[in-house]
């Protein structure tokens, strides 16, 4: 069964700003600039890298902005920070609007051609439920898929999208902790983000689009957050993520020593049992809020 999410549609007056007002954050409403009357649907590879199992409708259009300048500036600045953290230039970030069918934009998709399309509806719902940090995490997750395209990751594969999605969750958790990223020092500070992440997606374990169960997604974010203690390349992150997160394949973690990264292994050894309990559901989402 595919999950369909609906929420109230909020409409408002769109004001056209003068050039002089474009840099005035006190003016909230802006006129979204449409780029195209048609949006390409994701291909077979890219369908692994969507946030929700739902695609753009035929009436959806691309825009360069969200309904407010504050939100647009926030997302563009986050895109720059996320890409810079990995030493790369920004992918193309565009937003998807569909006045005829607003719920069809409840998604974010990372394209292998170096583009991220972010729906109006998922942006609004994420911000409403958890504030800016939720959209920062979703964007970091989608950029994680860009890293996968660029570097041929993940190094683990199976018949579902679970390794791709859980690693992208890990990349997001990593970004939220890094000082050059979102710079959150306590796991409790990102609670709203991982709670939103584990609340949506395809959890049917036999589905090709399976994103991982909610406990698996929470443990993936936690593992990425813990690895944020270290400055890693994308490939090094991939190696360490899957070294500890064997729950992707068989529900357990490797217990051997990480000889390639003894410093990381000494640090991670303190959290192996905790990660196992998160992945199995023994540590609940509520109890996660007490973790540092």
Structure tokens at 171: 């990349």
Backbone angles phi, psi at 96, to 5 degrees: -120, 125
56 in Cβ contact with 104 (< 8 Å): yes
Backbone angles phi, psi at 291, to 5 degrees: -80, 145
Location of structure tokens 């780029």: 35
This prediction's pTM? 0.83
Question: Rounded distance, CA 289 to CA 284, Å?
Answer: 9
83 in Cβ contact with 89 (< 8 Å): yes
Q: Would you state the pLDDT for residue 11?
A: 35
> CA neighbours within 13 Å on the CB side: how many for 45?
11
Q: Between 132-151 and 234-244, two packed helices, what is the crossing angle to 10 degrees?
A: 100
Question: Rounded distance, CA 212 to CA 59, Å?
Answer: 31
3-class DSSP state of 288: helix
Q: What angle do CA 143, 144, 145 make, to 5 degrees?
A: 85
Q: Would you state the pLDDT for residue 276?
A: 86
Q: Would you state the pLDDT for residue 231?
A: 98
pLDDT, mean of each 10-residue run, the chain (292 residues): 38 31 42 64 66 81 96 98 98 96 93 95 96 97 97 89 91 98 95 83 63 84 96 96 70 63 91 88 86 86
Q: Does an H or E element contain 97, and which?
A: strand 92-97
Backbone angles phi, psi at 174, to 5 degrees: -60, -50
Per-domain residue ranges of the chain = 61-289
Structure tokens at 61: 């259009």
- Separation in Å, CA 286 to CA 134, 192, 270, 278, 281: 17, 11, 21, 11, 11
169 in Cβ contact with 212 (< 8 Å): yes
55 in Cβ contact with 122 (< 8 Å): no
Strand order across the 115-119 sheet = 34-36, 61-63, 92-97, 115-119, 108-111
Would you mind telling me the total number of residues written for the chain in this entry? 292
Question: Rounded distance, CA 196 to CA 135, Å?
Answer: 10
């Amino acid at each position: 069964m595919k999950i369909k999410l609906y929420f109230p549609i909020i409409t408002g007056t769109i004001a056209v700003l003068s050039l002089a007002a474009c840099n005035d954050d006190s003016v909230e409403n802006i006129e979204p600039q449409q780029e195209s009357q048609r949006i390409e649907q994701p291909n077979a590879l890219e369908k692994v890298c969507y946030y929700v199992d739902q695609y753009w409708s035929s009436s959806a259009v691309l825009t360069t902005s969200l309904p407010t300048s504050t939100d647009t500036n926030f997302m563009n600045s986050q895109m720059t920070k996320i890409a810079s953290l990995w030493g790369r230039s920004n992918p193309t970030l565009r937003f998807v609007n569909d006045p005829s069918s607003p719920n069809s934009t409840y998604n974010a998709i990372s394209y292998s051609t170096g583009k991220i399309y972010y729906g109006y509806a998922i942006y609004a719902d994420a911000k409403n439920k958890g504030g800016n940090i939720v959209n920062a995490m979703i964007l970091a997750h989608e950029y994680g898929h860009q890293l996968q395209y660029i570097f041929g990751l993940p190094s683990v594969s199976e018949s579902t999208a679970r390794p791709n999605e859980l690693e992208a969750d890990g990349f997001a958790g990593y970004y939220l902790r890094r000082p050059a990223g979102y710079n959150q020092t306590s796991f409790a500070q990102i609670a709203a983000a991982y709670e939103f992440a584990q609340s949506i997606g395809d959890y049917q374990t036999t589905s090709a689009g399976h994103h991982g169960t909610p406990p698996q997604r929470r443990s993936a974010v936690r593992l990425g957050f813990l690895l944020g203690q270290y400055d890693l390349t994308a490939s090094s992150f991939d190696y360490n993520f899957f070294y500890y997160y064997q729950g992707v394949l068989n529900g357990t973690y490797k217990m051997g020593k990480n000889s390639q990264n003894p410093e990381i292994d000494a640090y991670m050894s303190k959290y192996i049992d905790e990660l196992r309990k998160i992945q199995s559901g023994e540590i609940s989402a509520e109890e996660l809020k007490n973790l540092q």
